[in-house]
Amino acid sequence: MSEIPTELRFATSHEWARLEEDGSVTVGISDHAQNALGDVVYVELPEQGQLVAAQHEAGVVESVKAASDIYAPVGGTVIAINSALDDAPELVNQDPYGAGWFFKMEPADVEELTELLDPEAYAEICEAEEH
Amino acid sequence: MSRQTPLHAAHVEAGGKMVDFAGWQMPLNYGSQINEHHVVRQTAGMFDVSHMTVIDVSGEGCCEFLRRMVANDVAKLDCDGKALYGALLNDAGGVVDDLIVYRRSHGYRCVVNASTRDKVLDWFADQAPADVLVEEKDLAMIAVQGPRAVVNFQTATHIDLIDELSPFGFLEHNNWMIARTGYTGEDGVEVILPKADVSALWEHLMDVGVQPIGLAARDTLRLEAGLNLYGQDMDTSTSPLVSNLAWTITWQPASREFIGRDALRAERTAGITQKLTGLVMEARGVLRRDQRVTTSFGDGVITSGIFSPTLGYSIALARLPIKATGDCQVEIRGKMLPVRIVKPPFVRRGQSVFD
């Protein structure tokens, strides 16, 4: 059973989104997702300042075994990227909800967060995939 | 319902992430496939390969039968205790499977893939004459691989003389067959033994520090070693001549009419147009199967691609126009990235070996 923090919202494509106190949204992939991918070796992040629409491609995560697109859980502007992943992509496996974050956005419409899955609904999706 | 090996409980206990592979529940990894990869390159790891198919071939005509079935010549095994790698071909020269053939005192033992089990058993049954007995054996198999593999195996089992086996040599010890073979590019042994014995051997190996390694690391290790995977780098639509396996075809004596010989001869006469070779990409990204390769002699395709844990960048096997050398390009997500054609293997005995 993978870990699912309660303060997060999730996309069906396994990204998580966290609303920060300053109104920005941090994005990463879930524990379930990193576990399914296996060892991450390379993360292609969006550019700082890039505009991305909700559910549109915002990067790629490559593990030894497979490449997987990362979709923006909400629309907005990319305001920071986690450049630590360049040299230490394994952070995605080691700490998917912490040091393994991908990028931060300034959301165009913070209400879009409510359209994402809450932890309970996301747990059901993970469970269905695990069986 | 997929089958379980006798080590299933041991895998689960060791944290193995079990997946379905060729009809078997096998461990993909026990946490991190990269760590497992390094363990095999640096010390010693063990693989449960009990899913592989063991076929014993005996009877008066067994040698002549295998000389017809295998493109390599089992007559080269001039005494018991020797094994060779080879390919089973169809009449068109396509690869039905690759295998290891061991010469024993009462016949031959063949180890073929799990994914090809039914096909190969049918093929053998179709081709075997009345004086040849073909029997599948229900046995277990463990591969112990790495620079410390042989030492650790001897410590765990107290069986001597393993370190004196030459590559592809094997010995029989009670009901165990212990061969100096493997699929990683490292020293080591593969042990075929009764299912009842395998859990104890696994535990004894654990006790001396040999770590369990999953299928995912098995794939990165074999690819670094430049070893083909059946169904991926070759199949019935490709001959050994375009699969980097020309060295496994024994042409002499010319009188040996192995299956596929005429087709291979015709392919050679017409001119071989492709080759299976290596690619390295030092740019960021990972080469993957089915990606298109553009060379100045035409296009090719990647058959297996991975991130190489030993080298720290991506490598691949690709089927390319035979004349292609040097620099070429691979299309990844719409971008053309530079790659270099190299002759595999990429890694042997823990060291980078391509030029």
The distance of Cα B102 from the centroid of its chain, to the nearest Å, equals 15
Domain tally, chain A: 1
Q: Between chains, do A42 and B220 touch, taking CB under 8 Å as contact? A: no
Across the interface, whether the CB atoms of A38 and B216 are under 8 A apart is answered yes
CA dist., res. B150 & res. B161, Å (int): 10
Say how far apart CA B311 and CA B34 lie, in whole Å.
12
Interface test with A, best of B18, B34, B223, B310 (most A CBs within 10 A): B34
Task: Examine residue A51 and state whether it is found in any structural domain, yes or no.
Answer: yes
CB-based contact A39 B220, cutoff 8 Å: no
Domain boundaries, chain B: 3-50+139-224, 51-127+239-270
Element (H, E) at A84: helix A84-87
Q: How many Å apart are CA A58 and CA A116, to the nearest integer?
A: 17
Q: How far is A11 from chain B (nearest CA, A)?
A: 23
| Per-residue pLDDT, B115 | 95
Alpha helices (runs of H) in chain B, residue ranges in sequence order = 8-13, 33-42, 62-69, 117-127, 149-157, 195-207, 215-224, 261-270
In this structure, what CATH number is given to the domain that contains residue A16?
2.40.50.100
Contacts of B177 (CB under 8 A, 6+ apart): B102, B104, B109, B170, B171, B191, B192, B193
Q: What is the pLDDT of residue B284?
A: 85
Tens place of pLDDT per residue across chain B (355 aa): 799 999 999 999 999 999 999 999 999 999 999 999 999 999 999 999 999 999 999 999 999 999 999 999 999 999 999 999 999 999 999 999 999 999 999 999 999 999 999 999 999 999 999 999 999 999 999 999 999 999 999 999 999 888 899 999 999 999 999 999 999 999 999 999 999 999 999 999 999 999 999 999 999 999 999 999 999 999 999 999 999 999 999 999 999 999 999 999 999 999 999 999 999 998 888 999 999 999 999 999 999 999 999 999 999 999 999 999 999 999 998 899 999 999 999 999 988 888 6
| Å between B232 CA and nearest CA of chain A | 14
Distance CA B123, CA B119 (A): 6
Q: End-to-end CA distance of chain A, in Å? A: 11
Q: How far is CA A10 from the centre of its chain?
A: 8
Q: B51-127+239-270 domain in CATH 3.40.50.410?
A: no
Name which of A1, A32, A34, A39 to mutate to probe chain B: the one with the most chain B Cβ atoms within 10 A of its Cβ.
A39
Domain for residue A3, yes or no?
no
Q: Return d(Cα B338, Cα B336) in angstroms, integer.
A: 7
Would you say residue A2 lies in a domain?
no
DSSP-derived secondary structure for A95-110: -TTTTT--EEEEES-G
Residue B317 forms contact with A (CB below 8 Å): no
Shortest Cα distance, chain A CAs vs residue B287, angstroms: 10
A67 touching chain B per CB within 8 A: yes
Three-state helix/strand/coil letters over A2-46: CCCCCCCEECCCCEEEEECCCCCEEEEECHHHHHHHCCEEEEECC
Contact B307 A42 (CB under 8 A): yes
Q: What is the pLDDT of residues A101-128, one digit of tens each?
A: 999 999 999 999 999 999 999 999 998 8
> Which of A41, A61, A69, A90 is most worth mutating to test chain B (most B CB atoms within 10 A of its CB)?
A41
B209-268 residues touching A, CB cutoff 8 A: 216, 220
A119 CA to chain B: closest CA distance, Å?
24
CA end-to-end span of chain B: 46
Number of H helices, E strands in chain B: 8, 22
Q: Is residue A4 part of a domain?
A: no
Give A38's contacts in chain B (Cβ within 8 Å).
28-29, 32-33, 216
Give yes or no for a contact between B126 and B134, defined as CB atoms under 8 angstroms apart. no
**Which residues span the domain enclosing A61?**
9-124
Does B26 lie at the interface with A, CB-CB under 8 angstroms?
no
Query: Rounded CA gap, B150 and B230, in Å?
Result: 27
From residue B73, how far is each of B99, B190, B299, B323 by CA, in Å? 13, 22, 34, 29
Pair type for strands B3-4 and B24-29: parallel
Alpha helices by DSSP H, B163-243: 195-207, 215-224
Distance (Å) from the C-alpha of residue A39 to the closest C-alpha of chain B?
A: 6
Distance between CA B69 and CA B277 in Å, rounded? Answer: 26
Q: To the nearest whole angstrom, how far is the Cα of A18 from the nearest Cα of chain B?
A: 27
| Complex ipTM tops 0.95 | no
Nearest to A41 among B29, B307, B333 (CB): B307
Classify domain B3-50+139-224 at the CATH class level. Answer: alpha beta
